[in-house]
Amino acid sequence: MSIIEAFIKTISFFDELKNEGVIEDYALIGGLALSAWVRPRTTQDVDLVVIISKKINWADLISLIRTRLQKKVSVHKATPRMTIQEKFSFMSGHIQIDIIGTGGFDLASDAIKNAVVADVLGKSIKVATPEYLILLKLLPLSSQDIIDIKELAKKADMHNVRTLAEKYFLLPKLESIIQRKNL
């Protein structure tokens, strides 16, 4: 299964869950989300942030993936010091799908609420804005994330990025990247 097929199948499934009221909303983040804003780059996974309904809990969503999609789910254990408390992954063909919950993660919740609908790989989906993608990429801050931030900065309202970075206590990290990379 190609990344396009895996992506479309996954998005269709999450659209069903949203229509059923199982999840309130979701948005695309990560490397694939970049293609809505800047020159696409290769990626090996699909990253979604999800707000689940008050009717279910995180374990229920995992169970739905296991039963409806017949997928083996790998649950990532969080520690109190980690920003992301809810995360699991499953494979769709040869593509890893990473699902990140918004429980205790206000930045992700706000990224969904402020996301815009864009066409990605032929499918309309809510995508985090460049400003929120920059902030989300500050959390792991790999060498690829720094490259992505530099590209996204060309499309982002950097005043807004700074304001949001301050709100989420990421301003020192952002300023460090800005100084090093002349954004």
Task: Looking at the structure, tell me whether residues 99 and 162 fall in a common domain.
Answer: no
CATH number, domain with residue 104:
3.30.460
> 156-182 burial, b for 16+ CB within 10 Å, e for fewer?
bebeebbebbeebebbeebeebbeeee
**Last residue of some domain: 108, 128, 148?**
128
**Last residue of some domain: 128, 148, 173?**
128
In the prediction, which pLDDT does 183 show? 62
**Residue 73's CB: how many other CB atoms inside 10 A?**
17
The predicted model gives 115-135 an average pLDDT of 95
Residue 182, pLDDT above cutoff 70: no
Instruction: Indicate the average pLDDT of the chain.
Output: 93
Question: Domain total for the chain?
Answer: 2
> What pTM does this model have?
0.94
Which residue range(s) make up the domain with 183? 130-183
Task: Looking at the structure, tell me whether residues 68 and 96 fall in a common domain.
Answer: yes
